[in-house]
């Protein structure tokens, strides 16, 4: 397929471009701080940038009338609503984490959440020093799955690709669920799966949970 990437010069943008090219897809369009790279109309747009770029992405998706995969974190509620409106016309896949492991993590949280009443519960997320948002989108997803107002601690260390730990403790024991992304490839693989998933869809709002 012919892909377009918003944030194509960034860490995730490059990882996604490399993976798709390895799988014989073609990078034909991009948008970044210095403007548009146009070679051809893309068949899909992938956005890994910043929330302030969102309106541009929205405009380009409407202009090209193509599916959107969006992994940008820190989106405002209105931007999520705008994505749902966009999804009436094109397929949209939105997730704050495109790794399989975090999907399994969320399933474990769902299994545990009504069994840990009265326990101390804390989320700790660790990411590279360049990450702009705090807490991570994934930590927010874990908190939302718990249906509880739990504290989140954020560490910014070196070049960590993405670590999330959920601690649960009573007076006699500590239980933990942890996930570590060993590189950004895990997220890019999920984006590729999502791109394949939307190829036969006309429209609709999906998360990565729907994809796997």
Is 60 among the annotated ligand-binding positions?
A: no
Footprint on residues 61-100 left by ligand NAI (CB under 6 A): 71-73, 95-98
In sequence order, what DSSP letters do the residues of the chain get, joined into one string? -EEEEETTTSHHHHHHHHHHHHTT-EEEEEEETTEEEESS--SEEEE-S-GGGHHHHHHHHHHHT--EEE--SS--HHHHHHHHHHTTTSEEEE-S---HHHHHHHHHHHHHGGG-TTSEEEEEEEE-TT---SS-HHHHHHHHHHTS---EEEEE-TT---EEEEEEE-SS-EEEEEEE-SSTHHHHHHHHHHHHHHTT-SSEEE-HHHH-
Q: Is 143 a catalytic residue?
A: no
Task: Look at residue 53 and give the partner it binds from ligand NAI, ligand LZUJQKHR, none, a contact being a CB closer than 5 to 8 Å depending on partner kind.
Answer: ligand NAI
Q: To the nearest whole angstrom, how small is the minimum distance from the Cβ of residue 122 to ligand LZUJQKHR? A: 17
Which residue is catalytic, options 17, 25, 127, 164? 127
Under the binding rule (CB under 6 A), the answer on residue 30 touching ligand NAI is: no
Nearest CA to 190 among 50, 70, 89?
Answer: 70
The residue from 131, 134, 140, 201 that is catalytic is: 131
Give the shortest CB-174-to-ligand NAI separation in angstroms: 28
For this structure, is 127 an active site residue? yes
Contact of 72 with 47, CB cutoff 8 Å:
yes
Q: Which does 49 bind (CB under 5 to 8 A by kind): ligand LZUJQKHR, ligand NAI, none?
A: ligand NAI
Rounded to whole angstroms, the Cα distance separating 189 from 49 reads 17
List the single partner that 127 binds among ligand LZUJQKHR, ligand NAI, none, CB under 5 to 8 Å by kind. Answer: ligand LZUJQKHR
* 131 makes contact with ligand LZUJQKHR (CB under 6 A): yes
Q: Strand pairing of 44-47 and 91-94? A: unpaired
* Residue stretches of the annotated binding site for NAD(+): 7-12, 32, 71-73, 95-98
* Residue stretches of the annotated binding site: 7-12, 32-33, 71-73, 95-98, 128, 137-138
Binding site residues, ligand NAI, CB under 6 A:
7, 9-13, 31-33, 48-50, 52-53, 71-73, 95-98, 133, 137, 187
Binding site residues, ligand LZUJQKHR, CB under 6 A:
73, 96-97, 127, 131, 136-138, 162
Which are the catalytic amino acids? Answer: 127, 131
């Amino acid at each position: 397929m012919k892909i377009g990437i918003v944030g194509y010069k960034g860490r995730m943008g490059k990882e996604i471009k490399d993976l798709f090219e390895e799988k014989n897809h073609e990078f034909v369009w991009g948008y970044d701080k210095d403007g548009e790279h146009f070679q051809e109309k893309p068949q899909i747009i992938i956005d890994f940038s910043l929330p302030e770029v969102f309106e541009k992405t929205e405009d380009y998706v409407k202009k090209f009338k193509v599916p959107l995969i969006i992994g940008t974190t820190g989106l405002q509620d209105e931007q999520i609503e705008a994505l749902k409106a966009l999804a009436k016309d094109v397929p949209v896949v939105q997730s704050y984490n495109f790794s399989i492991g975090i999907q399994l993590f969320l399933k474990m949280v769902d299994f545990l959440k009504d069994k840990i009443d009265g326990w101390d519960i804390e989320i700790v997320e660790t990411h590279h020093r360049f990450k702009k948002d705090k807490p991570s989108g994934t930590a927010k997803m874990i908190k939302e799955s718990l249906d509880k107002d739990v504290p989140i601690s954020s560490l910014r260390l070196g070049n960590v690709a993405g670590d999330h730990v959920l601690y649960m403790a009573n007076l006699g024991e500590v239980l933990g669920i942890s996930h570590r992304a060993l590189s950004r490839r895990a997220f890019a693989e999920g984006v590729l799966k999502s791109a394949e998933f939307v190829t036969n869809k006309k429209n609709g709002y999906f998360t990565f949970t729907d994809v796997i």
